[in-house]
Amino acid sequence: MYRLIAILALALLTGCASGVYRDRDVPITSIAAFDLARYGGTWYEVARFPVPFQRGCTDVTARYTARPEGGIDVVNTCLRDGDIRQIRGDAVLTGPGRLGVRFSGVPIGRAPYWVLWVDEGYRTAVVGVPSGRAGWILNRTPDIPEDRLNAALQVLEFNGYDIARIIRTPHGSQPVSRTFSSM
């Protein structure tokens, strides 16, 4: 199980994902006023761009825990085929709103993970990667209010992402294939 997760994470980190979801001619910007301590805790993935390592995943969460010596521990969890799948890693700040993430068992360096936006209350976040091969909308609960969802989609679009290609992440009994364009 861990080997499969490591292989799938490696595919993302090495650029073998199934697509590019943003226009790389559009500049991508991370949040300048980023508070790592407030970012810590559990986030629910409410939407993502399709990437192979998350195929079939529902109930996706990411947990970030600050380390006393700096950086954060990362635990990503999803439900796939009735099994809980996890991958653990760590992240360090590489710039304002920019993290370098490394996962256990993935034999390459740190992958760029840019926080593009966080609402004032640190309840909703938008994350992207400069290559445009992945992007996520995270929320502190599985249900996201429409105003923050719309703001998150606007941030992705501003950073060159094709929001017509983003998909909802099911939690509980939500259908797997529901996309924003069909809502």
Residue 71's Cβ-count burial label (10 Å; 0-12, 13-18, 19+) is middle
Is residue 150's pLDDT more than 90? yes
- The residue among 134 and 173 whose pLDDT is bigger is 134
Question: Which single residue is written with the structure tokens 């080997």?
Answer: 3
Residue of 125, 102, 109, 111 whose CA lies nearest to 34: 125
User: Which of 63-72, 152-161, 170-179 is predicted with the least confidence, judged by mean pLDDT?
Assistant: 170-179
Name the pLDDT band for 51 (thresholds 50, 70, 90). confident
Using one digit for the tens of pLDDT, what is the confidence trace for 104-141?
887 778 999 999 999 999 999 999 999 999 999 999 99
For the chain, give the mean pLDDT: 86
Domains of the chain in start order, with CATH, are 2-169 (2.40.128.20)
Q: Which residues contact 17 (CB under 8 A, 6 or more apart)?
A: 11, 51, 52, 133, 134
Rg, C-alpha atoms of the chain: 15
Residue of 173, 174, 159 whose CA lies nearest to 49: 159
Helices (H) and strands (E) in the chain, counts: 3, 9
